[in-house]
Amino acid sequence: MEEYNYIQPTESNHFCLFSADLENDENVFFHVTLKENFDSILNTGFLPASQFKPDGQKVVSYAYRSTGCLSHRDMRFLFQIVVVFAVRFIDLNPEHVHKAPSEMYVKNAIQPNEIIGYCE
């Protein structure tokens, strides 16, 4: 897993946090979370919020592009340190996924095939 340097999101890079090769790969998705969850994710994987609190979501969301993480970061994690993961899913079973316009929701704690890297 690689630590990527934070790229300042600008209009010229389409407000993305990662390089164009990752952003344009149809098998790469992005997940934002609090920095304090970093070690837990490495040890046990990406878990739905319902594992930690009764009213939490039962899915894990992954943005199609890292720009999708920026709105979550600003709304949910205001004034907190976050990390954005780039992950790869290969041959994800459609019955485990709900696709929305800017992100997908993965059910049943299905894990990505690879955690490519992260930036903070």
pLDDT digits (tens, 9 = 90+) for 50-60: 777 777 778 99
Could you report the per-residue pLDDT of 24-74, keeping only the tens digit for each?
999 999 999 989 999 999 999 999 877 777 777 789 999 999 888 876 555
Per-residue tokens: 28: 């790469």
pTM score, whole prediction: 0.87
φ/ψ of 100, rounded to 5, equals -115, 175
Domains of the chain (ranges; CATH) run 19-119 (3.20.170)
C-alpha R_g of the chain: 14
User: For 51, phi and psi rounded to 5 degrees?
Assistant: -70, -20
Copy the structure tokens of residue 3. Answer: 């630590």
The string of pLDDT tens digits covering residues 73-116 is 555 666 678 899 999 999 888 899 999 999 999 998 899 999 99
Q: Cα–Cα distances in Å, from 31 out to 3, 12, 23, 103? A: 14, 22, 13, 10
Q: Residues 16, 19, 20, 23: what is their CA dihedral angle, to the nearest 10 degrees? A: -60
